[in-house]
Amino acid sequence: MQFGPNQNRRFKSADGAYSTVTAREYDDSQITLTDHEARIVLDHFGEASILRGAVKLDPDMAAKEFTLYSTGETIGLNIIYPKAEGNELRLYLRRNFKPEGGLVFFLFLQGDKLWIGAMTEAEWRAGSADMVRDDSDSTYQEAILESSKIKIATLKERDIYVRDRMVALTSMENSGYLCELNNTHELFISRRTGNHYVEAHHLIPMAFQPEFSESLDTVPNVYCLCPNCHRAVHYAQKETTRTILENLIGKRDVLSDFNIGVNDLYALYGVEDIV
Ligand SMILES: [Zn+2]
Ligand SMILES: [Zn+2]
């Protein structure tokens, strides 16, 4: 599958693709590159440079250069069209790159280099989850009564966001100051507002604003959650986070506003299916 904003930010890449290595691929020492993986490889090397037929017909033409993640070492791997007809594209694994079955295999473009790598599913998900900490949500909550515009100075070394508190206030009013996941979740009364204490959560996290042309700080994209549900959507185990996300998008169709699918949303949080 194609990298989303989370993965491109993580690897500082322009584009990329990933999939799970199957036991069969490992045993056969070959990966069939499909969909976006194939697209990236063909665009990078040029379709005309791919050898059709066995490697031994032209070993120099079959050999392609990759940059190994994360060492940056240059390695050679063979890529060919093994069959006389059709566009099945095959990458041969060898000692310098032979990920085991179950690992996440990935390719990405950074500058003029095509990087290749593999890591465990746990490492993959943990890295994605790191990108979506979105500490700004809680800052937002604290600042909500302070002024009409909220300036978040910097998100790590990234951009400055100005947020409209009316967006969060409108979302909270719309929710009736209840948890949008489940309106029976128990809430305490905020000493400052006299309303139930709920937190504003951006379904598509504000951290990814640079990757979207539309503003992410909109009423539909902001959900009011009880503190427990809010922590859970960021930090819970995969299945719990997915259940919450699924439930939230079931309440209103936010994804089509931003032209992304459910698994793309999961990928932003590091809880996607990796196929
Ligand atoms: Zn949040
Ligand atoms: Zn809740």
3-class secondary structure per residue, the chain:
CECCHHHHHHHCCCEEEEEECCHHHHHHCEEEECHHHHHHHHHHHCHHHCEECCHHHCHHHHEEEEEECCCCCEEEEEEEECCCCCCCEEEECECCECCCCCCEEEEEEECCEEEEEEECHHHHHHHHHHHCCCCHHHHHHHHCCCCCEEEECCCCCCCCEEEEHHHHHHHHHHHCCCCCCCCCCCCCECCCCCCECCEEEECCCHHHHHHCCCCCCCCCCEEEECHHHHHHHHHCCHHHHHHHHHHHHHHCCCHHHHCCCHHHHHHHHCCCCCC
In angstroms, what is the span from residue 177 Cα to ligand 2's centroid? 11
Ligand nearest to the CA of 196: 2
pLDDT tens digits, 141-178: 655 665 545 555 554 544 445 567 788 888 889 999 99
Across 194-200, average pLDDT: 90
Average pLDDT over residues 215-231: 92
Close Cβ partners of 15 (under 8 Å, ≥ 6 residues apart)? 2, 3, 8, 40, 108, 109
> pLDDT for 47-92, tens place per residue?
999 999 999 999 999 999 999 999 999 999 999 999 999 899 999 9
CA 227, CA 92: separation in Å to the nearest integer? 49
Is pLDDT above 70 for 212?
Answer: yes
**pLDDT computed for residue 148 by the predictor:** 47
- Looking at the CA of 248, which ligand is closest? 2
pTM of the model: 0.85
Please tell me the distance between residue 160's alpha carbon and the centre of ligand 1 in angstroms: 18
Ligand 2 centre from 229 Cα, in Å? 4
The pLDDT, as a whole number, for residue 134 is: 60
Comparing 133 with 99, the larger pLDDT belongs to: 99
Q: Residue 136 — pLDDT band, cuts 50, 70, 90?
A: low
State residue 179 phi and psi, 5-degree precision: -70, 125
> Which ligand is in closest contact with the Cα of 230?
1
Query: Which residues make up the environment of ion ligand 1, defined by Cβ < 5 Å?
Result: 137, 201
From the CA of 180, the nearest ligand is: 2
- Residue 46: the pLDDT is 97
Give 88-123 pLDDT, tens digit per residue: 999 999 999 999 999 999 999 999 999 999 999 999
Task: Round to whole Å and give the CA distance between 271 and 242.
Answer: 7
Sort residue 21 into left (φ over 0), alpha (ψ -120 to 50) or beta: beta
Which ligand sits nearest to residue 179's alpha carbon? 2
- Structural domains in the chain, CATH included, are 5-119 (2.40.330.10), 129-269 (no CATH)
Tokens of 79: 């890529």
In this prediction, what percent of the chain has a pLDDT beyond 90?
73
Distance 180 CA to ligand 2 centre (A): 7
On whether the CB atoms of residues 104 and 274 are closer than 8 A, the answer is: yes
Which two tokens mark 75?
Answer: 């390695």
Q: How far does the centroid of ligand 2 lie from the alpha carbon of residue 226, in Å? A: 4
Give residue 125's pLDDT. 93
**Among the bound ligands, the one closest to the CA of 223:** 1
Tokens standing for 237?
Answer: 């185990």
Residue 201: name the closest of 177, 178, 231, 164 by CA.
231
For residue 198, give the ligand nearest its CA: 2
Supply 207's token pair. 């951290």
How far is ligand 2, taken at its centre, from the CA of residue 178, in Å? 8
